[in-house]
Structure 1
Amino acid sequence: MPLHILERPAFTVMGLHIQTRPMSPDIPALWPRFMSREAEIERPTEQGVSYGVMHSDSPDMSRLDYWAALAVAPSSRTPAGMETLTIPGGHYAVFRYPLSGLGAGFGEIFHTLLPGSDYEQVPGPYFERYNEAFDPGDPNSLVEIYLPVRRKGRPS
């Protein structure tokens, strides 16, 4: 299966941040807390779209930074208890999975699709994009996953 690759400009997200581990129940538990505060974020740049941003510097993925966030202008005021993060621009592999299949989807991406392609992940944040059609109450609602990549054998 060929990967769908697109180029995205850098953008800034703002929201709640936790340090956890992959697939932790802390991640879905963060979303209701974030949703109760998202109105505090002034002038999001994408109406009806939210982001789940992940980043890990640990080689064994034992620690994961996760943000439940909205895209904002870089100069936006940050409400108390929230943080901002700039997502670098570049090439991203894009995948779509139903909400109920996210765990299996990440396994397929990292163990089958990416290793079997001409691309490799590059360091930096990757993210889930929940578009305006996403319904958190529908397990079949689609989630987009964006993974920063480069062609194998090319320098960063």
Structure 2
Amino acid sequence: MEVRVMELPPVTLAYLRHTGPFGPALGAFWRDVFNPWRAAHGLMNRTTYGIAQDDPSTTPPEQCRYDACVEVADDYVAPAPAAVMHFPGGRFAAVRYRGPAADIGNAWMAFYSKALPASGLQGIPGPCFERYDASYTEDAATGVFECDLCIAIK
């Protein structure tokens, strides 16, 4: 895993929240709830984020919160059940992930436990997230996609 440093600007995000276990349920949430909502509100082809609000190693699975987000204008008013948050931006350690949804949990564990410590960078408290390019696609046959896995750093 190649760790690089990303500087991200502040952005406004519209989001829908999933509460419950991470894993396959998150893929279903994006496919069945978030992506149809984005399409219905003209928010496709924009940078998106998947923000884990809780650490699944210390939070009971049924209480884990995950926000599927899309970049919007600063004055965007989100129709219910969506909400708006202001992402502060900052400095992040990032690795590029390429694979199916079933393997992303293992990639996160390898990033946290091996790649980040080996990089010499130090994480700081705060949510970790996946960042998907506006041109994001998923291979229909294999389920393979790409995103950046990001952890806030000093």
What TM-score, normalized by structure 1, do the two folds share?
0.79
Q: Which residue of 1 aligns with 2:153?
A: 149
Aligned length: 147
Task: Please say if residues 40 and 79 of structure 1, whose CA atoms lie closer than 8 Å, have aligned partners that are also in contact.
Answer: no
User: 2: distance between equivalents of 1:34 and 1:22?
Assistant: 15
Select between 106-115 and 124-133 the one with higher mean Cα deviation: 124-133
Structure holding more helix per residue: 2
Q: Which residue of 2 aligns with 1:30?
A: 29
Select between 125-134 and 74-83 the one with higher mean Cα deviation: 125-134
Which secondary structure does the structure 1 equivalent of 2:96 belong to?
Answer: strand
Give every structure 1 segment of 4 or more consecutive aligned residues whose post-TM-superposition deviation is greater than 6 Å. none
Task: Please say if residues 2 and 95 of structure 2, whose CA atoms lie closer than 8 Å, have aligned partners that are also in contact.
Answer: no
Cα deviation 1:89-111 (Å, max 9, x = unaligned): 21111111123231221111011
Q: Which residue of 2 aligns with 1:85?
A: 85
User: 2: distance between equivalents of 1:29 and 1:140?
Assistant: 15
Cα deviation 1:2-39 (Å, max 9, x = unaligned): 6200211111211211222443x331121121111113
Which secondary structure does the structure 2 equivalent of 1:116 belong to?
Answer: helix
CA shift at 1:133, angstroms?
Answer: 3.9
User: 2: distance between equivalents of 1:104 and 1:57?
Assistant: 14
Task: Please say if residues 98 and 139 of structure 1, whose CA atoms lie closer than 8 Å, have aligned partners that are also in contact.
Answer: no
User: 1: distance between equivalents of 2:53 and 2:74?
Assistant: 19
| Unmatched 5+ stretches in structure 2 | none
Q: Which residue of 2 aligns with 1:134?
A: 137
C-alpha RMSD of the superposition? 2.5
Task: Please say if residues 34 and 68 of structure 2, whose CA atoms lie closer than 8 Å, have aligned partners that are also in contact.
Answer: yes
CA shift at 1:85, angstroms?
Answer: 2.1
| Unmatched 5+ stretches in structure 1 | 151-156
CA shift at 1:149, angstroms?
Answer: 1.0
Percent identical pairs in the alignment equals 24
Q: Does 1:75 align with 2:79?
A: no
CA shift at 1:59, angstroms?
Answer: 7.5
Q: Residues 41 and 74 (structure 1 numbering): CA distance in 2 closer, same or farther, change over 3 Å?
A: farther
Structure holding more strand per residue: 1
User: 2: distance between equivalents of 1:118 and 1:140?
Assistant: 30
CA shift at 1:78, angstroms?
Answer: 0.7
